[in-house]
Amino acid sequence: MPSIQHEAIVRLFHERPQLAAELLAESLHVPLPRYDHAAVETGDLTAVTPAELRADSVVVLTRERADARPKPVLAVVVEVQRSPDPDKRWSWPMYLVSLRARMKCPSVLLVICPDLKVAHWSRQPIELGHPGLVLCPLVAGPADVPVIVDPLAAADDPELAVLSVIAHATTPEGPDILNALLTAVHKLDPDRGARYADMVRAALPNKIWEHLEDLMQTETREFLSDWARDNVAKGKAEGKAEGKAEGKAEGMAEAIFAVLSARGLSIPDDVRTAIGECSDLELLDAWIPAAVTVESARDLLNI
């Protein structure tokens, strides 16, 4: 069963398919054909093969045509590999053959490996048996993912910044990379920022997250507090524009949910309902700073 980290990395390519092209061209130095768009296609690769095959993600690069639909120029099978799996050496070639036949364009295999040893295993050539046919997977391991410590660079490409945190969390640069990401997502749309903060928090083991938090000391708390204040201000502004107190309460509740989620705290359904349906603005205002420090979401209801 795929892990949370596995799903978080796959989600990055669904959020921004262009990430696959960036890793191929900039990190792995693979020449790409001229293209205009990158889009996610279905990962179901059973159309022309009898066995059930499903890739983690498929990204297709297309070129615009004046008198016809965009033409596929390269199809990318994106696989997230967290541990060696001998079966993949049989299924990966099938992925490429099936996708090539379906899209009628060249296809390549891009394997994302957060672990250095797994990256080495994934790079091993796969002999197909027919003379001259050898599949050499294109692998993006930790050394191939850039170290992003500049908040401006993280804001320009938050998906790559999330991948940078996951790949380098245990390195000396880990706290600086996480700080750059948190600073960057703070400037994004609140919903999008919360989504990326959730991704990186879910993808990192608790011990690593706690270690990074300790090294960052107050920075994480300050980030969450600023984020909460911004969401509250947004909610109040929307409420004022609508002339309804409900708008203020909704904005404050969303701020609380965003902070709790970014801290990796689960929100039980009854707690979410209690906060979401609360119309007491003073109580909501007290819950916001408390959300930064409570040990569990349920503790808020005792304040």
pLDDT(260) > 60: yes
Query: How far is Cα 36 from Cα 33, in angstroms, rounded to an integer?
Result: 10
The count of residues in the chain is: 303
In sequence order, which residues have a C-beta less than 8 Å from that of residue 100 and are 6 or more positions away? 75, 106, 107
Instruction: Spell out the domain ranges in the chain.
Output: 4-144, 218-303
Interval 57-114: pLDDT, tens: 899 999 998 888 899 999 999 999 999 999 999 999 999 999 999 899 999 999 999 8
Sign of the dihedral through C-alpha 191, 283, 272, 221 = positive
Q: Is 29 left (phi over 0), alpha (psi -120 to 50) or beta?
A: left
Query: How far is Cα 180 from Cα 155, in angstroms, rounded to an integer?
Result: 8
Interval 122-175: pLDDT, tens: 999 999 999 999 999 999 999 999 999 998 999 899 899 999 998 998 888 888
Sign of the dihedral through C-alpha 18, 24, 29, 33 = negative
**Order of strands across the sheet with 68-80?**
37-41, 57-65, 68-80, 107-112, 138-140
Interval 202-241: pLDDT, tens: 777 777 767 776 666 544 444 544 545 455 445 444 444 4
pTM of the full structure: 0.68
In the three-class reduction of DSSP (H, G, I as helix; E, B as strand; rest coil), residue 171 is classed as coil
